[in-house]
C-alpha cells in the first residue's frame, strides 16, 4: 500500500476508533466500509441481513489513510481475510476482516467477536 503521512495516520486511527465504538455500542454484527460514488468512504452497520447507514462517512481526504490502516492492521497483503486487533474500552477486540471487490474498488467487512453473521 501507499506510504501515508503521519498526521493522516493519526486521523485515520481516530476515525477508525469512532467507527468501531459506534458499531460496538449499537451492537452491530459487522461493519462494511467501501468507496462512495460521491467520494470518500461509506460506512454501514450490519444487523443480521440488514445494512444501515449511521451518517458515518469518511471524508475523501482520509479515505486512503483509512483503507491503508485497515489493510495493514489486518495483514491482508497475501490473503483477502485477516484479523485486526483493536483496543476498545480496555480490551483487545479481535475483529475478523474480509476484503472484497465493490465495482472495481476495494471494500472491507469487519465481523466483531461473538457477533458472527
Residue ranges of domains in the chain: 6-111
Among residues 23, 19, 21, which one has the least CA distance to residue 46? 23
Q: Give the whole-angstrom CA distance, residue 109 versus residue 96.
A: 8
45 pLDDT tier (thresholds 50, 70, 90)? very high
pLDDT digits (tens, 9 = 90+) for 6-40: 688 899 999 999 999 999 999 999 999 999 888 88
Average pLDDT, the chain: 88
Give residue 14's pLDDT: 93
Q: Which CATH class for the 6-111 domain?
A: alpha beta
Amino acid at each position: 500500500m501507499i506510504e501515508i503521512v503521519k498526521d493522516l495516520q493519526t486521523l485515520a486511527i481516530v476515525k477508525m476508533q469512532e467507527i468501531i465504538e459506534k458499531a460496538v455500542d449499537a451492537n452491530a454484527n459487522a461493519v462494511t466500509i467501501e468507496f462512495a460514488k460521491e467520494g470518500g468512504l461509506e460506512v454501514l452497520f450490519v444487523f443480521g441481513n440488514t445494512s444501515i447507514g449511521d451518517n458515518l462517512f469518511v471524508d475523501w481526504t482520509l479515505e486512503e489513510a483509512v483503507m491503508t490502516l485497515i489493510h495493514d492492521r489486518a495483514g491482508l497483503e497475501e490473503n483477502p481475510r485477516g484479523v485486526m486487533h483493536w483496543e476498545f474500552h480496555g480490551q483487545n477486540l479481535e475483529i475478523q476482516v474480509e476484503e472484497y471487490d465493490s465495482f472495481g474498488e476495494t471494500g472491507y467487512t469487519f465481523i466483531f467477536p461473538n457477533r458472527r453473521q
